[in-house]
Structure 1
Amino acid sequence: MNDKALHTLEYDKIVRRLAAACATSIGKEHAERLRPTRDLREAQRLLRETDEASRASALKGSAPFGGITDVRPSLTRAKLGGVLQPSELYDIAQLIAGIRKLKRYVASVSEEAEIPLLEDFCEPLTDCKPLEDEIRRCIDDQGDVLDAASPELASVRRDIRVSEGRAREKLESMIRSSSVQKMLQEALITIRGDRYVIPVKQEYRGHFGGIVHDQSGSGATLFIEPEAVVQLNNKLRELKLNEQKEIERVLRKLSELTGQKADLLIGDTETLGLLDFIFAKAALAASDFATLPSMNDEGRLDLRRARHPLIDPKQVVPIDVEMGNVYSAIIVTGPNTGGKTVSLKTIGLLSLMAMSGLFVTAAEGSTLCVFDGIYADIGDEQSIEQNLSTFSSHMTNLISILGQVTSRSLVLLDELGAGTDPAEGSALAIAILEHLHRIGCRIVATTHYSELKAYAYNRQGLVNASMEFDAATLRPTYRLLVGVPGRSNAFAIAERLGLPRSIIEHARGEVSEDELKVDTMIASLEQDRRRAESERATAERLRAEVEKLRQQIEDERRKFQEQKAKLLDEAREEARAAVSKARREAEEIIADLRRMALEEGASVKEHKLIEARRRLDDAVPAAAARPRPSGGGKAAKIEPGDEVKVLSLGGQKGHVVELSGGGEALVQLGILKMKVALADLEPVKKQAAAKPQVQTAPSVKRTRDENLRTELDLRGATLDEAILEVDRFLDEAFLANLGQVYLIHGKGTGALRAGVQDFLRRHKHVKSYRLGNYGEGGAGVTVAELR
């Protein structure tokens, strides 16, 4: 990849931000070595790594890299037989613990998300916990060797503490003496060269004997080891030498154990650094609100609301760029400070980031391409030392680019042809664009030359674009408008700033007719674009409303289906329960009948059969009322005297006495007359008789309804309630052509029985009545015989 283009497009700043996001020095090394890849599969793999790390961070927070340092030099020395310092061994223990934490972290994420690449990285990481435990048993977090490192070390340190105590006690007894205190500069004990001494005044040097170890700057104070503690200090010195030897033995043993695992731990260290680098890419994506782009190697770009990652998101204006399908080159025109250069850098930098496995600052669904090279000529690079003008510096850079570019390259050119005569500069710019276009590379170029607008307008595969300018406010909007060339705004700006209109009109007269036509065309294109954008916004709004309505209807339909299914399930469950209950009660009734037959032989009493039949009738689930048939044709005409069926009474037959208003008819049903709606009546078809018969009077044939009850239980009812029930019951029994019925009133005080029998005596359907016989209920039942 062209290093000059990387610097021009500020790729190095992205790398520095990425390195700052790393938690370890090894991760920073990976970030600093990052370069875009030219291989599509590798770019896609790098992006998948970043995507997995982003999902892991979103699920479980940041990965645990705290406390991990680069211990590869220490491991290499341990592998070669060197003895490591306690702090180095403690860092290795921290590394082993960090490996274990990271493996647990990745395992917990894998339970909720697919992260195969991160799992592959963690799978070969070793578990050296025994080595970590041994190091922590011997070395504390301050890098000191603990007494528990070995029994010998613990013993020698106990002896050291005892010897130190004795030496201090001897010296303290000396400095507490009043005769000695006058010889001391200060009554305290200090240490020089690991030996206990006291500060003695110069004039009393010979009084204590012993050894002088140091003196003050003025020479007035000597630090003397009195002869009385020389032997104690000698023993203490010897013990400390033994302590140091034992510490070295412990460190050598730990270093040997570490050396045995050095190769594995070096590989683990590098893997941790790579994982830290991957999670740093995810952290950078999160901080920039970046998204995962799709990649291709076919030269197609589709950036949606793309913004420069180094500009404050609150200030930058997003751009939309599509290239590689219909056109392969974009010629951008527009005023200075309108955002042309930023747009160029945005396209180039986002391409480099995607090729490096980094998310891009664009909307979801953006597409970028893997190029074999990205070349940029942006900015004024004139050099006084090299005697290069602006034009010369651009030409030098362009010559270098033309020597390297291929059909799979992206070329970004800013102010093409600038710095020289406009006529020659525009001609040269057209020639360079034509050469690059023939090669087939992707081109984005900015220019001020109006000739390039016409060039792009007439060439297949090239398209004009411009940076929008608001003539009302005289300010650029920084929006990139693809398909619309930039128009000159010099006259509008000058007029708004107050330049006399006569001068402006004279200037317009100096502009050629062709240029005026181009300007008019551009103005028309801008009007069409604004109208199209307005219509598109309206269409999008309507589409959103339609989609919302469609979703609401779909939700209502789904709720209806769910409710329907629920009601059907409930109905089926109720039907199953009713059938089960009916079957169970029927079985109980049959069992009772069998038991009664066994107990009483063949003489099962009538009232018991009546009771059993009633229980069977009650056990049958009530059938749902069927809807009446609604005839599709014209309703049959009904006249007085016609024989009809009353549908609501189960097809009970009768004849029409008269028609009453309101769509009703008076119908004679046996001895009953009732008003019935015409819609509830169905004429009975008359059959042709074999020979004519003379019918003197209408008659009603009574048929027996096998499902009608033959007994009425009145127990617990008042006399008034009983009379009403008996009257209704006798009418039904009469219509059903029953011969006799049973009224169960119980014995009690006899008041209910007397009242019922008195009512039967006066009832027109009752022929006679009597008390029940033995086996029929006796005095608790009245048997009525009907006419």
Structure 2
Amino acid sequence: METIRNNKAAETILEFNKIKEIWKGYAMTDGAKEAIEGAAPMLSESQVLARLRETTEARDMIQRSGQPPLVSLSGIREWMRLAEIGGCLTAEQLEGMERALAAVDRMKRYLEQGKIHETALAWYGDDLQSCQDLREAIGQQIRGGQVSDHASKALRACRMDIEKEERSMREKAETAIRSGKNMMTDSFSTMRNGHMCVPVKAEYRYRVKGNVIGQSSTGSTVFIEPEACARHYGALEMLRLEEENEVRRILYTLTGMVYDFREELECDIRVMEKLDLMFSRGKLSLAYGGVEPSVNTERRIVLKDGRHPLMDRAVSVPLQFRLGNAAQDGADGEAAVRGIVITGPNTGGKTVAIKTVALNCMMAQTGLHVACREADICMCSGFLCDIGDGQDMSENLSTFSSHIVNVLDILKKVDRDSLVILDELGSGTDPAEGMGIAVAILEELKKSGALFLVTTHYPEVKQYAERAEGMVNARMTFDKESLKPTYRLVIGEAGESCAFYIAGKLGMPEPMLECAARAAYGAPALPEEIRRLAAENRIRKEKTGGIQKRKIGEKGNARKKRFHRGDSVMILPDQKTGIVCEEENEKGVLRVQMPGKKIYINHKRVRLQVAASQLYPEDYDFSIIFDTVENRKLRHDMDRGKLVQGEIILEQ
């Protein structure tokens, strides 16, 4: 399968790498995740159509039959390689193999349901091998991560003998405890290093016949294996060795069966990974509400209600887009539009619009559904992009230099089957020179025959696009009432400068606007709409005596007081209590009496506890609270008209 090479930079710029990360989250097998990591746009139309059809069928099956019973299959290939080199699989590994075969069987039954609806994807189930003999053999002989007692008659008999010997050992130990009860530190036996022992007091260690196996940490207890138990221990060791040999024989036998079924298992792994990859595309499509696009080789791109798949559908503004042969609606005698120059205000959505187009095209050519209501995507030989600041400190490149380096590289690679995306063309340098460079770049792109999308702020570039053959202007719309962008793309119309309109809307006088027009365009004439706005502003100012000043004053007077003198408040985050002694000023700062001091604090850190109206009478004298005795006495004397010399009232 031939794909576009060296496309990592474009994937990152267009955020296709983020789509891949989400996509990998829907895959179960390591093989499918590796395939997703290496996924790239394909160059064969038939392969693209086949992948898109598989994605649609996978999505439809999930909607009809629920999630497919896929498992990770982790470690299966490693276990098969171990079997090939003569190793022995553990009981846990064999049990994992059995679970994988059970998943294969469930997948076969799941796909059988799709055959009812004549889904081509369902016939992949015929390639899955159940390996029923291997699965049954493992299921019968391995239980709970161990070789089952029923795996063989010899193993069952051996384990029964082991249980008998262990029971006899326990009985002998209990007999020894009962017979020497006064010499024991406890009334039950214990296992020490595989030996059945009795706990004997250290002073009686020589009165109990047997082998000393160990002692307690304090040395007060000695663990002795009675002679009667020792005789059973030897027989038990021989039985355990016999059991180990029989278990190993069974594991080797089952490992040999895995080796015998290696071709069927390898086929199952490949098919399951392929199915996992298909169903992961279907799950991803359901996640962002994708649809299968139509694919053409006629250099035509049409998106209806297009969205950026990483954006929230609830807030994303649908994109209506046409480029290529469809841009002229098949009009006879007119050249197809190959390039679109998009203009509009900053934060108006220009960059998102061009990335939405390119990302959906890249996803479609990789076999993924597109985030649109309907789409017609053309095959591209490459996605060439220059978006963002691109300033490279390590290479000592400015923003403008970085853009030029990228653009020159793009012009070397571009051909008639490329899709080129350039953001803020010619920016980062002198406007006049930047405009000239932008026009020169557009001229080269036009000669290449490629499809291209370009954003710019230069009015001369808009004029060039209007005159140039095979190129049209487009604009991002702007709400003149709210002075906010609406994020809608209109193809065929150049974006108008909103600076004069916004300035006039906000009250800039007509003489200033005319001066700005002369400086910008060398002509004093203002558009009628802007002149009308300026006249309305002048009339409004004459009627109100300075509307701007009045508005500011009104805004200041309109500030609602949140706190009043005497209010009991809490200071956050310390949660200390104080009393308001000075109401907040125009900046929202008030003064609060705290224990022993007064502080200034922003109203955002203050919470009302009890209003002053609930604490004090209406004519209450707050100087009793906030003034010192000395200050109150001085004020009282001054109010009586008494001359007070050499005294000042101190603020606390």
The answer, yes or no, to whether TM exceeds 0.5 is yes
Contact 1:195 1:225 in 2 (8 A): yes
Change in CA separation of 1:516 and 1:390 when aligned onto 2, cut-off 3 Å:
farther
Match of 1:415 among 424, 427, 431: 424
- Answer yes or no: is the 8 Å Cα contact 2:57–2:119 preserved in 1: yes
Change (3 A) 1:402 1:235: same
Match of residue 45 from structure 1: 50
Matched AA of 1:286 = L
Q: Is the 8 A contact 1:411 1:442 kept in 2?
A: yes
C-alpha distance 183-117 of structure 1, shift in aligned 2 (>3 A): closer
Which residue matches 1:575? Answer: none
Q: 1:423-482 CA distances to partner (integer Å, 9 max, x unpaired)?
A: 111100110111011011110011111111001100111010111111111111111111
Partner residue of 1:95 out of 100, 123, 129: 100
> What do the CA deviations read for 1:495-526 (whole angstroms, capped 9, x no partner)?
34444554334323433268979x78999xxx
| CA distance 1:129–1:67, shift in 2 (3 Å) | farther
Q: Which residue of 1 aligns with 2:492?
A: 483
1:172–1:189 contact (8 Å) kept in structure 2:
yes
Rounded to whole Å, the distance in 1 between the matches of 2:524 and 2:319 is: 28
Question: For the residues of structure 2 that align with 1:48 and 1:129, how far apart are their CA atoms?
Answer: 32
Counterpart AA for 1:369: C
CA offsets per residue over residues 288-324 of structure 1, 9 Å max, x none? Answer: 1110001122221001111001111111111111111
Q: Deviations over 1:346-386 (max 9, x none)?
A: 1111111111111110013x111221110110101212232
Q: Quick one: structure 1 residues 190 and 395, their matched pair in 2 at CA, closer, same or farther if it must change by over 3 Å? A: farther
2:125 maps to which residue?
A: 122
Q: In the superposition, relative to structure 1, how do residues 458 and 73 fare at CA in structure 2: closer, same or farther (>3 Å)? A: same
Aligned equivalents of 2:278 and 2:182: distance in 1?
Answer: 69
Partners of 2:524 and 2:452 in 1: CA distance = 25
Distance 1:208 1:361 in 2: 85
Q: Does 1:355 align with 2:365?
A: yes
- Compute the displacement of 1:28 (Å): 2.1
Matched residue, 2:406:
397
Structure 2 contact 114–122 (Cα < 8 Å) conserved: no
Counterparts of 1:501 and 1:176, CA distance in 2: 116
- How do residues 580-599 of structure 1 correspond to structure 2 at under 5 angstroms? none
Structure-2 change in CA distance of 1:165 and 1:430 (3 Å): same
Structure 1's 220 and 430: CA in aligned 2 closer, same or farther, altered over 3 A? farther
State percent identity of aligned pairs. 38
Question: Do the aligned partners of residues 223 and 166 (structure 1) sit closer, same or farther apart at CA in structure 2, a change above 3 Å counting?
Answer: same
Aligned-pair distance for 1:493?
Answer: 2.2
Q: What secondary structure sits across from 2:127 in the alignment?
A: coil
Q: Which residue of 2 aligns with 1:340?
A: 350
Give 1:254's aligned residue: 254
Matching residue's letter, 1:163: E
Aligned partners of 1:426 and 1:72: how far apart in 2?
59
From 135, 138, 142, the equivalent of 2:141 is: 138
Which has the higher relative contact order, 1 or 2, with Cα contacts under 8 A spaced 6 or more apart?
2
1:208 CA drift (Å): 3.5
The change in CA–CA distance for 1:176 and 1:389 in structure 2 (over 3 A counts) is farther
Moved more, 77-86 or 221-230: 221-230
Amino acid at match of 1:110: K
Residue 377 (structure 2) pairs with residue 368 (structure 1): yes
**1:329 aligned onto 2:339:** yes
Deviations 1:268-301 (A, max 9, x none): 1121011011101101101111100011222210
Shift of residue 81, structure 1, vs aligned partner = 2.4
- Alignment of 1:306 with 2:306, yes or no, is yes
Post-superposition shift, 1:110? 1.1
Residue correspondence of structure 1 range 206-225 to structure 2 within 5 A: 206-225=206-225
CA distance in 2, matches of 1:129, 1:418: 67
* Residue of structure 2 in register with 1:387 after alignment: 396
Cα offset, 1:25, TM superposition? 3.0
Report what 1:280 is aligned to: 280
Q: Compared with structure 1, are the counterparts of its residues 472 and 146 closer, same or farther at alpha carbon in structure 2 (3 Å cutoff)?
A: same
Are the aligned partners of 1:463 and 1:482 in contact in 2 as well (CA < 8 Å)? yes
Q: Give the Cα–Cα distance (whole angstroms) in 1 for the partners of residues 63 and 524 of structure 2.
A: 56
How many residue pairs get aligned? The number is 516
Identify unmatched segments of 5+ residues in structure 1: 524-787
Q: In structure 1, what is the Cα distance between the partners aligned to 2:83 and 2:530?
A: 74
Q: Which residue of 2 aligns with 1:470?
A: 479
- Say if 2:32 is the partner of 1:27: yes
CA contact (8 A) 2:435 2:461 kept: yes
Q: Which residue identity lines up with residue 472 of structure 1 in the other structure?
A: E
Question: TM-score under structure 2 normalisation?
Answer: 0.75
1:215 positional shift: 4.5
The answer to whether residue 159 in structure 2 is matched with residue 157 in structure 1 is yes
- Output the CA distance in 1 between the equivalents of 2:516 and 2:385: 36
Tell me how far apart the structure 1 counterparts of residues 528 and 187 of structure 2 sit (CA, whole Å): 103
Aligned equivalent of 1:507, options 504, 516, 523: 516
Q: 1:520 to 1:19 in 2, by over 3 A?
A: farther
Give the 3 Å change call, closer, same or farther, for CA 426–239 of structure 1 in structure 2. same
Distance 1:23 1:291 in 2: 23
For 1:59, the equivalent position in structure 2 comes to: 64
1:108 to 106, 110, 113: 113
Match of 2:557 in 1: none
Cα distance in 1, alignment partners of residues 108 and 342 from structure 2: 51
1:226 to partner: Cα distance: 3.1
CA RMSD of aligned residues (A): 2.3
Superposed CA offset, 1:580-619 (max 9, x none): xxxxxxxxxxxxxxxxxxxxxxxxxxxxxxxxxxxxxxxx
Q: Quote the offset at 1:241 in angstroms.
A: 1.3
Structure 1 distance, partners of 2:45, 2:348, is 34
Distance 1:44 1:181 in 2: 89
Question: 1:106-136 CA distances to partner (integer Å, 9 max, x unpaired)?
Answer: 1221112x322441x3322223111111110
1:205, CA displacement in angstroms?
Answer: 4.0
Change (3 A) 1:196 1:341: farther
Asked if 2 retains the 8 angstrom alpha-carbon contact of 1:167 and 1:232, the reply is yes
C-alpha change, 1:497 and 1:225, in structure 2 (3 Å) is farther
CA contact (8 A) 2:184 2:198 kept: no
1:200-248: per-residue Cα shift (whole Å, max 9, x none)? 4544444435444444555555444333311212222221111111111
In 1, distance between residues paired with 2:434 and 2:495?
18
The answer (yes or no) to whether the contact 1:67–1:94 under 8 Å persists in 2 is no
Cα 1:217–1:508 shift into 2, 3 Å: farther
Look at both structures and tell me which one has the larger radius of gyration over its CA atoms: 1
Q: Secondary structure at the match of 1:511?
A: helix
Work out whether residues 194 and 237 of structure 1, in 8 Å CA contact, stay in contact via their aligned partners in 2: no
Is the CA contact 2:58–2:278 (under 8 Å) kept in the aligned structure 1? Answer: yes
Alignment of 1:558-569 (within 5 A): none
Q: Which amino acid aligns with 1:3?
A: K
Give CA deviations for 1:159-185 in whole Å, capped at 9, x if unaligned: 1111111111222233345x445542x
The answer on whether the counterparts of 1:103 and 1:122 sit within 8 Å (CA) in structure 2 is yes
Cα distance, 1:44–1:225 mapped onto 2, change above 3 Å: same
Aligned to 1:271: 271
Q: Give the distance between the partners of 2:295 and 2:269, measured in 1 at CA.
A: 31
- The AA in structure 1 aligned to 2:29 is T
Indicate the residue corresponding to 1:750 in structure 2.
Answer: none
TM-score (norm 1): 0.63
Q: One-letter code of the match for 2:91? A: P
- Separation (CA, whole Å) in 2 of partners of 1:23 and 1:133: 25
Kept in 2, the 8 Å contact 1:68–1:98? The answer is no
The change in CA–CA distance for 1:319 and 1:246 in structure 2 (over 3 A counts) is same
Select which of 430, 434, 438 maps to 2:447.
438
CA contact (8 A) 1:53 1:279 kept: yes
- Given that 2:515 and 2:524 are in contact with CA atoms closer than 8 Å, whether structure 1 keeps it comes out as no
